[in-house]
């Protein structure tokens, strides 16, 4: 963590190279270190290492591969506080939140420990007389994982353990805003017994990404980030003949029906709207208040939001800073625009007095009421601590609003009416749905992914989708010679 330059990890060792960029401590505003930014030479070295390691890892016995996964799980668990500290220092989210991120990543490692069961094929005896058929799944080769700044540990762990357990080698390109956690993950993999070259960290920006997307040795790309980049990655990597899953941005609505439990709903809105300063792809950014619950709900959210302590994530605050000064200014600009367009600023985070030293990138929790669908604060993904309340008259109007939105990552309904919840689950065009659960991130053995502009490709992350993505299938039809099929017959084979 004290390293002056967060470099690459190639062939099981730290490796410098390329241009450099600055990494900030967002709570103080100070430059904490530099990050290496790969150019073509570093991309080539990283991919060559991953390609060279592939045949050996692919052919390593499943039992041995699994043992590495179990060892990595133990080491990750032991290092969880160190990882959380690194996350807080470079991302800014408060320590308890960073610990939660590591815990959710760990769950995917535990899922991947069961890879033996997940890779089993099917077998059919006597599909035709004397003929048996079986299926198998094999790894793809070197694959690339490109991750966003907001979950520097959890998002890489959505993919890396499953890809490695299935016999692939992985080049991870972390966000250049918080590059250090990936290097500790690399050290843990090595200590777990993973052979050199199976896991590589390539630090960098667009240049590194483009190098991976175009490289013929990279067989698949798992991307998570903003929608414009996700769309671009999907198109460019697909054009290069690769398998691609590209998860994009979000605008998650929380529909609150008049019969919802007011206190629990307000708690949920505050937790899901302002946790991690709103820098979560599953954050609630829009509360859709149906009917007469709007006034008491806005009052209850405002009361809770006003009491939150914003500051340095290492000081036990509720909410930390935003990731960069530019991002903080951009989010504050959306609040200004919303106010100018007629939204009522109920809680104003622009006036925050943070509990922190230096000049960190802070914006306090902000609550906007009477937001309407044409305002930029509604149409755009803001990715900050800004909760917008849109008032509607009916469930039907609320549903139409959610379904008209270009994003379809997550949504939630708050109600005590089971029939309404069931109808919402059936009718809403969104990939992940919560019923009285504001951030419905699926557990590791289910798959994570949105609809519409929140995901390009057709496979979601982790769970059985993840295993499917990182393997390809074969079907073998076999017959052992015996006298029953002697003789010439040029007809098309029939199954009888
Ligand atoms: P981003 O799109 O700016 O960056 C993501 C990755 O792409 C980084 O590794 C970055 O270096 C690289 N990148 C950036 N610009 C690029 C370009 N022009 N060409 C090629 N590569 C480029 O996203 P971010 O700001 O790091 O992360 C926040 C975004 O990620 C939000 O939109 C959020 O909703 C989204 N996100 C989505 C999910 C999901 O599961 N759908 C999860 C987490 C974050």
Co-location of 102 and 23 in the same domain: yes
Cα-to-centroid distance, 371 and ligand 1 (Å): 27
Residue ID of nearest Cα to ligand 1 atom 11: 205
Question: In this structure, are 226 and 342 located in the same domain?
Answer: no
Phi and psi at 214, nearest 5°, equal: -90, -15
Does residue 351 sit in the same domain as residue 205? no
Predicted model pTM: 0.97
Closest atom of ligand 1 relative to the 149 alpha carbon: 26
Based on the fold, state whether residues 190 and 45 are members of the same structural domain. yes
Tell whether 169 and 311 lie within a shared domain: no
- Are 46 and 60 found together in one domain? yes
Matching residue, tokens 């914003």: 310
- Cα 468 to ligand 1 centre (Å): 23
Interval 422-435: pLDDT, tens: 999 999 999 999 99
Cα gap 12→197, rounded to integer Å:
6
List the CATH number of the domain containing 298.
Answer: 3.40.309.10
Task: Say if ligand 1 is within 6 A of residue 173 CB.
Answer: yes
pLDDT at 493: 80
**Can you tell me which residue has the tokens 């009888």?**
496
Token code pair at residue 286: 């829009």
In a domain, 485, yes or no: no
The verdict on the CB of residue 450 being under 6 Å from ligand 1 is yes
Alpha carbon of 226 to ligand 1 centroid (Å):
4
- Active-site residue, 113 included: no
430 lines ligand 1 (CB under 6 A): no
Do 244 and 126 lie in one domain? The reply is: yes
Evaluate whether residue 492 is within a structural domain. no
Does 447 reside within a domain?
A: no
C-alpha span between 303 and 308 (Å, rounded)? 9
Distance, CA 148 to ligand 1 centroid (Å)?
A: 4
Cα 211 to middle of ligand 1, angstroms? 16
CA within 13 Å, CB half, 270: 24
Residue 63: give the domain boundaries.
5-248+454-476
ipTM over 0.90: yes
Q: Take atom 32 of ligand 1 and give the residue whose Cα is closest.
A: 226
Do residue 282 and residue 364 come from a single domain? yes
Do residues 347 and 377 both lie within one domain? yes
Residue among 229, 278, 322, 328 whose CB has most ligand 1 atoms within 8 A, to mutate: 229
How far is it, in rounded angstroms, from Cα 222 to Cα 230?
10
CA 225–ligand 1 middle distance (angstroms): 2
Ligand 1 atom closest to Cα of residue 448: 40
pLDDT in the model for residue 1: 54
Picking from 192, 225, 171, the residue whose alpha carbon sits closest to that of residue 42 is: 171
**What pLDDT, in 10s, does the model give residues 393-452?**
999 999 999 999 999 999 999 999 999 999 999 999 999 999 999 999 999 999 999 999
Is 338:331 a contact under the CB 8 Å cutoff?
no
Q: Is 229 in the pocket of ligand 1 (CB under 6 A)?
A: yes
For the chain, give the percent of residues with pLDDT over 90. 96
Domain count within the chain:
2
Is 264 found in the same domain as 411? yes
Rg for the chain (alpha carbons), in Å?
25
Selecting among 281, 283, 331, 430, the annotated active-site residue is 281
Question: What is the residue with the minimal CA distance to atom 26 of ligand 1?
Answer: 148
Which residue has the least CA distance to atom 13 on ligand 1? 206
Q: Report how far residue 61's alpha carbon sits from residue 58's, in angstroms, rounded to the nearest whole number.
A: 8
- CATH number of the CATH domain containing 159: 3.40.605.10
Q: Tens of pLDDT along the chain (496 residues)?
A: 557 999 999 999 999 999 999 999 999 999 999 999 999 999 999 999 999 999 999 999 999 999 999 999 999 999 999 999 999 999 999 999 999 999 999 999 999 999 999 999 999 999 999 999 999 999 999 999 999 999 999 999 999 999 999 999 999 999 999 999 999 999 999 999 999 999 999 999 999 999 999 999 999 999 999 999 999 999 999 999 999 999 999 999 999 999 999 999 999 999 999 999 999 999 999 999 999 999 999 999 999 999 999 999 999 999 999 999 999 999 999 999 999 999 999 999 999 999 999 999 999 999 999 999 999 999 999 999 999 999 999 999 999 999 999 999 999 999 999 999 999 999 999 999 999 999 999 999 999 999 999 999 999 999 999 999 999 999 999 998 877 667 888 888 877 7
224 and 257 fall within a common domain: no
Q: How far apart are the first and last CA of the chain?
A: 66
What's the CA gap between 14 and 35, in Å, rounded? 13
In a shared domain, residues 221 and 171? yes
Q: Please report the pLDDT score of residue 2 as a whole number.
A: 55
């Amino acid at each position: 963590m004290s390293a002056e330059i967060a470099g690459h990890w190639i062939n099981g060792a730290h490796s410098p190279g390329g241009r450099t960029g600055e990494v900030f401590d967002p709570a103080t505003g100070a430059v904490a270190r530099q990050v290496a930014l790969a150019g073509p030479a570093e991309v080539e070295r990283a991919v060559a290492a991953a390609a060279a390691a592939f045949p050996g890892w692919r052919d390593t016995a499943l039992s041995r591969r699994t043992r590495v996964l179990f060892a990595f799980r133990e080491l990750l668990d032991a290092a969880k506080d160190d990882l959380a500290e690194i996350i807080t220092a470079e991302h800014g989210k408060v320590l308890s939140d960073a610990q939660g991120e590591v815990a959710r990543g760990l769950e995917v490692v535990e899922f991947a420990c069961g890879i033996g069961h997940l890779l089993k094929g099917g077998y059919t005896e006597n599909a035709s007389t004397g003929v048996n058929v079986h299926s198998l799944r094999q790894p793809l080769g070197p694959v690339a994982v490109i991750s966003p700044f907001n979950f520097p540990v959890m998002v890489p762990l959505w993919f890396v353990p499953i890809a490695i357990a299935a016999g692939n080698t992985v080049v991870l390109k972390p966000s250049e805003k918080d590059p250090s956690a990936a290097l500790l993950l690399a050290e843990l993999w090595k200590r777990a017994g993973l052979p050199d070259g199976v896991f590589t960290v390539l630090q960098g920006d667009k240049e590194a990404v483009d190098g991976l997307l175009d490289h013929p040795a990279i067989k698949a790309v798992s991307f998570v980030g903003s929608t414009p980049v996700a769309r671009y990655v999907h198109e460019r990597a697909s054009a290069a003949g690769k398998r691609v899953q590209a998860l994009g941005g979000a605008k998650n609505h929380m529909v609150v029906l008049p019969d919802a439990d007011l206190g629990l709903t307000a708690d949920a809105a505050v937790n899901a709207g302002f946790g991690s300063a709103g820098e979560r792809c599953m954050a609630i950014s829009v509360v859709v208040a149906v009917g007469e619950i709007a006034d008491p709900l806005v009052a209850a959210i405002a009361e809770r939001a006003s009491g939150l302590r914003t500051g340095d994530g290492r000081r036990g605050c509720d909410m930390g800073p935003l990731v960069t000064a530019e991002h903080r200014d951009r989010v504050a600009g959306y609040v200004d625009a919303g106010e100018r367009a007629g939204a009522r600023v109920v809680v104003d985070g622009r006036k925050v007095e943070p509990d922190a030293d230096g000049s960190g990138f802070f914006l306090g929790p902000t609550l906007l009421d009477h937001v309407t669908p044409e305002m930029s604060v509604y149409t755009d993904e803001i990715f900050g601590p800004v909760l917008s309340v849109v008032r509607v008259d009916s469930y039907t109007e609320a549903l139409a609003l959610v379904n008209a939105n270009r994003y379809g990552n997550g949504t939630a309904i708050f109600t005590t009416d089971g029939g309404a919840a069931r109808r919402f689950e059936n009718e809403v065009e969104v990939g992940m749905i919560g019923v009285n659960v504001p951030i419905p991130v699926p557990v590791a053995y289910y798959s994570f992914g949105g609809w519409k502009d929140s995901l390009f490709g057709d496979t979601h992350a982790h769970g059985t989708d993840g295993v499917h993505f990182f393997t390809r299938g074969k079907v073998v039809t076999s017959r052992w010679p015996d006298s029953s099929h002697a003789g010439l017959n040029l007809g098309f084979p029939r199954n009888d």
